[in-house]
Amino acid sequence: MTPSLALWLSIVLGSCAQIFLKKGVDQKGAGNQTGYARLLRSGWVWLWAFSFFFATALWLVALSKIELSYAFPLLSSGYVIVAVLSMVFLKERISWMRWMAILVICLGVVTTWGSR
Amino acid sequence: MESETLLRKPVPLQSRSIGLSSIALPWQLAALGAILLASTGHLVIKLGLIAAGHEASPAGGRARIIETLFQPAVIGGLAIYGIGTLLWISAVARKNISFLYPLTALNYVIVSVGGKLWFGETISPARWTGIAIVVLGVALLQLSSGEDQ
């Protein structure tokens, strides 16, 4: 696996993980248990945990070859990916104000890490 | 008079939560706590890595990795990060993910400033500019917070 493939897989998988988690915590009526213990019964939450783990592992693989100052600005694309996925799979409505906020945050991250 | 009092029966605080009653924190507290703990975890892990580096062990490879992983500060940092993740779950249960996820960009701000305060790392003018833009973006995000149901 090439380092940049690992990097992009890590970003996409990490974004999917957030969608899985939201699906998991939004599930209703999973027995009488409350709180965190209840979450263990959700397949979505397990999917989140595995995705999170593999995204982290792929991130480490990528970082062993790619410079941090190159990898970090790309990480901010995860905010856009999560926003698009949440529109499609969670039916979240995203106002123009929120899109603008997301783009400004991406710009900020790129500026923070892109200029060495 | 009496009927008015009855009508103004307070709405239960948790009426909008989705049943994770034992992790019923306000989302603001949960989200901020999660971000603060994640940043602190990273900084504490760094503390452990510095400690491991200073011990200058001649062992390389696997022994080196194991030695690093068992640094008390590395274990502590991972534990703090783990508690942050639990708070994050609580926040995600209460608020749209398209709002919450971009908030995690504050990690960059806190870790940068923490690195300066704890480890004397320098923050370049360009990085200060980036930090300011991230904070501006998070402020804009706040303005869109009320739109979620």
Nearest to B37 by CA among B91, B87, B73: B87
Nearest to A5 by CA among A80, A75, A59: A59
**Structure tokens, A70:** 């190159």
B140 close contact with A: CB closer than 8 A: yes
pLDDT tens across A1-38, in order? Answer: 888 999 999 999 999 999 999 999 988 654 445 578 88
Of all residues in chain A, the one with the smallest CA distance to B139 is: A101
B115 close contact with A: CB closer than 8 A: no
First to last CA, chain B: 33
Measured in angstroms, the CA of A67 and the nearest CA of chain B are apart by: 17
Contact B137, A102 (CB under 8 A): yes
Residues A33, B80: Cα–Cα separation, whole Å: 26
Residues A36, A33: Cα–Cα separation, whole Å: 9
A113 close contact with B: CB closer than 8 A: yes
Instruction: Look up the ipTM and state it.
Output: 0.89
Largest CA distance in chain A: 53
pLDDT tens across B131-145, in order? Answer: 999 999 999 999 988
**Buried-exposed string B112-123: b where 16+ CB fall within 10 A, e elsewhere:** bbbbeeeeeeee
Nearest to B49 by CA among B68, B29, B66, B67: B68
pLDDT tens across B22-78, in order? Answer: 456 788 999 999 999 999 999 999 888 888 775 555 556 777 778 778 889 999 999
The pTM of the full predicted model, rounded to 2 decimals, is 0.82
Query: Which residues, 6 or more positions from A100, have their beta carbon under 8 angstroms from its beta carbon?
Result: B140
Burial tier of B38 (Cβ tally within 10 Å: 0-12, 13-18, 19+) = buried
Q: Which of A102, A106, A110, A113 to mutate to test the interface with B (most CBs of B within 10 A)?
A: A102
